[in-house]
Amino acid sequence: MIFSIENRRGELLRATPSEEPELRRVLLALSVTEIISWGTLYYAFPVSLPSITRTTGWSVTATMCAFSLGLITSAVAGIPVGRLLDRYGPRTVMSAGSVLGCLALTAVATAPGLAWFAAAWALVGVAQAAALYPPAFAALTRWYGSRRLRPLTLLSLAGGLASVLFAPLTAALLAHLDWRTTYLLLAAVLLATNTPLHLLCLRVPWPGAGETHRGSSFAEVRGVVLSREFVLLSATLALAALGLYATTLNLVPFLVDRGLSTGTAAIALSLCGTGQIVGRLGYPTLTRRTGIQRRMTVLLTAGALAIALLAALPGPAPLLCAAAMAAGAVRGMYTLLQATAVSDIWGVQRYATLNAFATAPATAALAVAPALGAVLAAELSSYPLAFFGLAGCVAAGAVLTSTTNSGKDRPQ
């Protein structure tokens, strides 16, 4: 292993007193831009989907496949974007991502046919790789070093507001405008806010900017990426993402199948979102008390049990809502686990590149998560059985975690 918890050369990076105000501006700016990036590049789509299919005549399946293509492209593009981040820093990469996102959303809005629409979403995927959580997490991880957990938690809490703000905003726009004009306005918002904030606020000197020792760097990265521990981590994150996200995305039809009204199911979904906030707030405490391996095992085991409990409970509604909130809490913690696992094991040097490799399978899993629960339910003729299957995915991740080397497993 090239890096270990005992050998974190990157952890020596600490802000000087003169840089503290700049880092606070960085955190505030990224909190704003992540809300806007997630809102425009991701959460606006499910709200606008009915309007898109109604006015174009495209099927829901084909339109969703175009969106999924963007997520898959984001997973692939994340690896070269990570290398660019490590070398040049987030200011250039995230500013370019905002500009590209504006152009890509404009292409979505002006698509004359389904093929153009799909190609536009592939371009959106590249922008997502340069503008969503991974580059923002990389920026805070490198600049804050050993003090990264608190700003990462605050950023993830801010990012959680994206759906809260942009779902109703998109719906309000669609009530008065067609979906194409709505997307043009969202593209303008992305360009007018995120680009100047990235350019003006992400100005803290980037550690190692302009380094040219590519040979040794590539060899070190390759050694880590091909290691057994890294492969198991990537597989674990992918299985957890598949199970946790497919559960929450299919929660409403599952609860309706259980006999709840659509309104009550919607309340349960909102409680699931509340659980995500609670989980993220509780993650620092879990980090102080556990090492990375035990933390992953405990977290994924809890996630599998929460999903299995949902599948097993026939009711009543309050118990189902409580189980949904528990599953949401695990998903909220998973976001921070995904952001910190690589740096907890291999340090912050080359974090963006290593994290891109580690999370690419998980990002790809997100592309199929929306359809997975529905497909399982259709094949098994039962949403509860489908949820047991999703619980099995998360449990398999917990089993993989328990097979890794525990020598580094100690609280941070």
In this predicted model, what pLDDT tens digit does every residue of 333-355 receive, in sequence order? 998 898 888 888 888 778 888 88
Interval 118-133: pLDDT, tens: 999 999 999 999 999 9
**Does one domain contain both 184 and 268?**
no
**Residue 336 tokens, joined:** 């921070």
Tokens 């929660």 belong to residue: 251
**Does one domain contain both 258 and 394?**
yes
Count of domains observed in the chain: 2
- Tell me, yes or no, whether 214 lies in a domain: no
**Residue 82 tokens, joined:** 């990570």
> Is 170 in contact with 182 (CB distance < 8 Å)?
yes
- Tell me, yes or no, whether 361 lies in a domain: yes
Q: Which of 308, 312, 311, 306 is nearest to 271 (CA)?
A: 306
Q: CA 187, CA 403: separation in Å to the nearest integer? A: 45
Predicted TM-score (pTM) of this structure: 0.80
- Tell me, yes or no, whether 3 lies in a domain: no
Phi, psi of 74, deg, nearest 5 = -60, -40
**Does one domain contain both 248 and 396?**
yes
- Tell me, yes or no, whether 410 lies in a domain: no
Boundary-marking domain end, from 201, 231, 256 = 201
> Where do the H-state alpha helices sit in 226-259?
228-249, 251-257
**Does one domain contain both 188 and 225?**
no
**Does one domain contain both 139 and 287?**
no
**Does one domain contain both 252 and 375?**
yes
Residue, of 285 and 199, whose pLDDT is higher? 199
**Quick one: pLDDT at residue 21?**
81
**Quick one: pLDDT at residue 371?**
73
Boundary-marking domain end, from 144, 168, 201 = 201
Dihedral sign for Cα atoms in the order 95, 100, 103, 105: negative
The pLDDT of residue 410 is above 60: no
**Does one domain contain both 229 and 139?**
no
**Does one domain contain both 59 and 19?**
yes
- Tell me, yes or no, whether 140 lies in a domain: yes
- Tell me, yes or no, whether 208 lies in a domain: no
> Is 162 in contact with 43 (CB distance < 8 Å)?
yes
- Tell me, yes or no, whether 409 lies in a domain: no
Q: What is the DSSP string of 31-80?
A: HHHHHHHHIIIIIHHHHHHHHHHHHH---HHHHHHHHHHHHHHHHHHHHH
**Quick one: pLDDT at residue 285?**
87
Q: CA 154, CA 336: separation in Å to the nearest integer? A: 10
Range of the domain at 124: 15-201
**Does one domain contain both 276 and 375?**
yes
**Does one domain contain both 240 and 192?**
no
**Does one domain contain both 248 and 349?**
yes
> Is 344 in contact with 351 (CB distance < 8 Å)?
no
**Does one domain contain both 149 and 227?**
no
- Tell me, yes or no, whether 282 lies in a domain: yes
Residue type, 58: W
**Residue 39 tokens, joined:** 């809102």
Q: Using 50, 70 and 90 to split pLDDT, how confident is the model at 8?
A: very low
Instruction: Supply the CATH number for residue 255's domain.
Output: 1.20.1250.20
Boundary-marking domain end, from 201, 236, 265 = 201
Q: CA 54, CA 101: separation in Å to the nearest integer? A: 25
Highest mean pLDDT among 71-80, 122-131, 288-297, 353-362: 122-131
Arithmetic mean of pLDDT, 377-388: 85
237, 238, 239, 242: CA torsion to nearest 10: 120
Residue type, 242: L
Cis amide prior to 318 (ω within 30 degrees): no
